[in-house]
Structure 1
Amino acid sequence: MTVLVLTCEADVTADMVVAELHEQGVPLVRFDPADLPGTGALSAEYVRGEFRGYLSIGGRVASMQGLRSVWIRRPGEPAAHAAEPSEWLSVETAHALYGMLDCTDARWMNHPSAAAKARRKPWQLRVAHQSGFPVPATLLTTHPSMARQFADQYRNVVVKSVSGKSPGDPPMALPTTLVPPDADFSGVAAAPTLLQRYVAKRADIRLTSVGDQHFAARKAAEPGQVDGRYGDTGHEWEPVEVPAQVARAVEAYKKQTELAYGAFDFAEDSTGTWWFLECNQGGQFGFVELETGLPIARAVASWLGAEPA
């Protein structure tokens, strides 16, 4: 049976997993939805209650009846590489492709509907609380007075993007930023704003959860550091044990969100507490594996290549 890897051509993280799948002798087809229609093709037939479907790319064919798993890693926009791309064609192609894949019995990492819901940060925070994670006090508001009250109450607060995307083209990452004491919150009325109590951290933690395996790495932070994604602290990622209570919370979180994979970010404070910041359902792990040697790509490949129950 075949593993279907949905990702773009330039994806080093996917390359690592593909290499592991080859090592394990698992058949796979790598397919970018951006190439459909064009160099990629599909066909699905529904006759007398029976379903047969196929995807093809570069001379390789994946039968929908023979899929064991689907890994949605970093797929391109459907029909983006078409001869005459359009928003209509992208929507039509997405409905055709993902609708056909929904007809299979394959396992997903992660299913598009679960992934879409899991991206929504307000819901993430609610699930994190319910799962048992420590979560910094957070406010999402369009009321300037509420923002000012929150900032006065917690004094040190940061502002974050709700979606993680900027309106630019191409989109840019928006750093988490400390709010100055004399901040003018009148602009909050123009767009939903997410404020959160600042956690004075001694380290960033990235926990990559693959099925029932959890791989954690720690990177020491500089005093006053806010967003660990930016700036060189002079420290590298190092493997770290996952506390039992964190593992239980991760498992509860993934069960409620129906995720097979999640990249969790935490801020470790001076007491050693791991504060939940977010869970990226499609987060990178290549940089962690390359610095720490944690066998994350092998774990992903093993999950994808496991025989159906």
Structure 2
Amino acid sequence: MCDVTGLSQRRACRLTGLSLSTCRYDAQRPSADAHLSGRITELALERRRFGYRRIWQLLRREGLHVNHKRVYRIYHLNGLSVKRRRRGKGLATERFSPLRPDAPNLTWSMDFVMDALATGRRLKCLTCVDDFTKECLTITAAFGISGVQVTRILDSIALFRGYPATIRTDQGPEFTCRALDQWAFEHSVELRLIQPGKPTQNGFIESFNGRFRDECLNEHWFSDIVHARKTINDWRQDYNECRPHSLLDYQTPSEFAADWRNRRYEEKSTWTDPTPVDDPAL
């Protein structure tokens, strides 16, 4: 219109009732999102069970400060949405949210996760997490794990971080045996058993086991026990050091634990090193 009539943009917009800002708006070319779209696709293919929010957090860690809505739009346009796995309907159970402790090593949660090798041989994984920091303390994979072996695994964990005040488990035979009971007595550890048939009372480990199965066990086909242990150990390290945790404000468990220790150290330094006060009598 401006070219034909010779009117200015402002005059032409006033006559047509069009906003001047709308007329002058320069839409972004699709190529502006090309680099971001490529990186989002790479991360989504690398971590197939991550949703757009965790992808967004990984981008922020790489220095790409982009709005989460933009990530959501590109994520869905590229067809990267996580496919939900169908689950069988379970019995309705009473919902129970265990209280989260306020310091590390107050409560650990333990459980077993079952899987199988490509040969069909059953695989048993002992999982243990710290309920406060969400650190995965161990995932021990073996063909069989007895109560005595559970105590040895716990001793190996305690070498690096000490013994917990409480360990929450179900009432499986490995957790109710005499060996674990004697071990708990010797190290002043309280064994807190949940009620039979109510796994939600051990919600922290159940949530972790769900992530472990969804992101690791269901994504790999283990040829032998060595392959399984290496893959599981790599996933555990990634979970602790790289995977953003929503309950920790998208920090990794290792970052959250380190920040907590630093804050405690600073608080302790403040308590033990008060500023000197001048004595007016001197």
Q: Which has the larger radius of gyration?
A: 2
Between Structure 1 and Structure 2, which shows a larger proportion of strand residues? 1
TM-score when scaled to structure 2? 0.28
* Greater per-residue helix proportion: 2
Q: Does 1 or 2 have the higher relative contact order (CA < 8 Å, sep 6+)?
A: 1
